[in-house]
Structure 1
């Protein structure tokens, strides 16, 4: 495993079993026990759209997603601008409407083509993002919309892909953007009472290459990784094994891609302006797809700072960081990110227990828990 890497952000979602062998995204986006905020406490899809549009009046809004960012629920919108070689990501506080963050990134390939297709078909849109959410929620009662994306592929009409979620169940509903007709429905799982979790699955042996801190380092002994934490850790190790020395991991997460569960790992080489996206099969760690995408300035700056902090040092690695965090606080790992705390490089491991998310910070060099 390459021990010199600058930022790991991984979102781990522990999914429930599938009904009728139908797979849909949703369970992979949230930790077990997550409860979406009540609609009455949010500014709503229309307000999120209006705030985004006001910032980029000539842009094409392709998606709006409800996400939890550092303990705060936000609407994250993506807007194609100019000739659609760039996208503007806007994070809006979902309760207050305050814009928290704006980032630009390069786009290409399928994302750029989708933006161009939306622009061509924009005059035909009569259904808003908010209306698409309402249509989808009426189709699958009890589930709440959290991700809405406009898509047009080939000769198919422009449609909204609405993803919905409630603890233990998820659905994907496609809504014709011109007519409001439902053109597809996929569902997975059965709702569970809040606070209950399905049994973990997977091996009980920690992966090789997890890293061992130097003598006199961390005070919390590591524990063996099991279940999805083990599958994710192995996938990260397999992805790094195919990359040149000095490659860093930007992000790794469980997701549903084309209705199949995968681990998606984003890597970048030092000085590169493009990231490589690697998809792996969770159960085997086999690589099934590679794709390049632009690297935004924020990620590039984070990588540079952490490379400098780790110069001449040996990081404990993602597996050891997860193990030590779980030894300090039990629960389900939902995210791990490598960042700077002052002059110290740390792993921040987010752990969910009974629907509540807590962070455990681990010194990236010594393995000590940082208070």
Structure 2
């Protein structure tokens, strides 16, 4: 029996990125043995970043500063909007994105240096937002925990988003920050059905593990938002109410959603995935996607790209809003405290006479 070398991976191909001179296509020449090809290995490359805080001016998202310690993501979510970024380094947004990862080895040092600048003004920093800060390689590299330790020393407000239960490893730091009004978290829950979750996000935490992460964070006093993202028509859209109810029971206090986005190479990768895993409904899925995108596969216009438009998009918005009201998840977005930021005391320094510590 042949083994599938792509077992546990999201993308089905490794098509060339949009900036490559030559196009690669997989071809079976008949030389693969009865046991099939070997499973793909994950290769991690440390790199020295020049800067660590990214800024944006997008009106579609709730933060304008973020840190992403990893490029590429082993979770392998087929819909991930970060996939096209791998094309900038000559790699494929397909399998390469899941198997050729980069870690910003000097991230902690750069953040300390940034906070030390006299001109720095504290604003909430989102950890993540592109690739997952708690993907499996974080267990070995610990960059995310190092960044949180810097946030705590400087009393800097921090938000994070993940779909990994590994976040509860750092509950000690997050709880202390949250007690000061300096931390909040978002957990992505796309489905409560293990089969669908495993197919869409092959190496991410199982649904019940994410619910448990919400519970642990909430019990520790960390405000938690549940993100139902993305909502994929005819795949997980029927679960909106069930997801929100379970997350509210676990202690989530707010909720948000994003409908499926298919920019650049993601469209072809997603369609390949659909044909492989959901051939019976692939035509309907794409028809509904185009209905929400004014007849196109994707509309990048601000104000539309996150939620879509048209009757189907409005139905999703109305259902989501009603469910949030029913389960008490319609609270306003929590603002973190920016006034506590200060230079940490060095060993041997004398405490401020007016400090409460």
TM-score, normalised by the number of residues in structure 2: 0.25
- Give the strand-richer structure, 1 or 2: 1
Q: Larger RCO: Structure 1 or Structure 2 (Cα < 8 Å, ≥ 6 residues apart)?
A: 1
TM-score, normalised by the number of residues in structure 1: 0.25
- Give the helix-richer structure, 1 or 2: 2
